[in-house]
Structure 1
């Protein structure tokens, strides 16, 4: 990979990282602002890439040719946008949410995706109740299994200082703090019989000066905000 990057004429360094176990090796090129990870297949010659920017996996790709993979990496690391990258490397794929991150309206698009999805883990009544609250609608929503979470940033790692809504059996809801606020289990805030009351509990426990979600990660914000 390093030799292929050198051939592109750009000053880029491929760092070897730990393998997830079922691949031969993983390389990373770039920094926390923008980078590309590449995984080498173990049973076929292929290079699977993820193109990251400010905590968001913006695009993915699979290439059989190492020079082609290196070219895509070099283009991304020199600041190309998604459309330019795909135009030059047709094997690169991205979705509308990635485009929204690039435009700066990822919060609105993520809410729109959740409001129209048919995914079974999404509680539509809960989504609509949360969306009806302007202060929550300004945050970046994400799901962990069936739990609905809210972040003050749009990239991963997300902030974990906003309460989480956990749908329970029989249509009830539990509102809790994120699990890393408790040494064993999420600290419970309260129970609710309907999504509107659950949302009200979240709003009542929003952190001070909780404004609209911003681009970047929890690490970009005050370190205390991510806990």
Structure 2
């Protein structure tokens, strides 16, 4: 394994690539512990050194406006192989074949084939953020159950999901400033708390499905 001096991650990656007969493009952004590489189609690979002692690197892959894959490795050669594949236009599956540490969720290849709209993409990103290993707080387990229950309802799935301090809310707009609509739901250790907008009314439910059913019933009725 080739050591990566942490004084300049991008330069060290370029040296590792050269040792293997590969060539990295110049980074579009760089710090001592972070390097960003781009391709002609607007895709990016972000490499970030997480552990200075062990040299553990987190690699994130973006394309078509979405974070499609990520992975962690302490092998510099694996980082370089993955970066070169991605910026050369390789698909998710091809990139993973070249660098097995790369991980992506089942929705990502579908987006790669035919990009999702902003609302659907926001749902998948929000669901991913509540899953291990990103989710570490006990309430994130309950938040994930809540998001999954909400995503199962077409009425909520057409809205953009938002979260703040584990509270889940919904918006009719997909970008800031958000236009919140309907209830917000707070997952607690022993209950799910549904709060109605503009009032002090709060209802405690035992399951996420019950909380989501209340949120659906509180949505404004479509006008004819």
Contact 1:166 1:175 in 2 (8 A): no
For residue 46 of structure 2, what is the aligned residue in structure 1?
Answer: 37
Q: Is 2:108 the partner of 1:98?
A: yes
For residue 160 of structure 1, what is the aligned residue in structure 2?
Answer: 178
Q: Report the number of matched residues.
A: 180
* 1:101/1:161 CA distance change after superposition, 3 Å: farther
Contact 1:148 1:166 in 2 (8 A): yes
For residue 185 of structure 1, what is the aligned residue in structure 2?
Answer: none
For residue 198 of structure 1, what is the aligned residue in structure 2?
Answer: 215
Q: Is 2:79 the partner of 1:62?
A: no
Alignment of 1:5-24 (within 5 A): 8-9=22-23, 11-13=25-27, 15-17=29-31
For residue 157 of structure 2, what is the aligned residue in structure 1?
Answer: 137
For residue 174 of structure 1, what is the aligned residue in structure 2?
Answer: 195
Q: Which has the higher contact order (CA 8 A, sep 6+)?
A: 1
Contact 1:172 1:191 in 2 (8 A): no
For residue 25 of structure 1, what is the aligned residue in structure 2?
Answer: 33
For residues 100-151 of structure 1, what are the alpha-carbon distances to aligned partners after superposition, in whole Å with 9 as ceiling and x for unaligned? 433446939849x79xx99323465x8657744x342234545444322346
Of residues 26-35 and 102-111 in structure 1, the stretch that sits farther from structure 2 once superposed is 102-111
Contact 2:142 2:187 in 1 (8 A): no
Aligned-CA RMSD value: 4.3
Query: What TM-score do the two structures reach when normalised by structure 1?
Result: 0.57
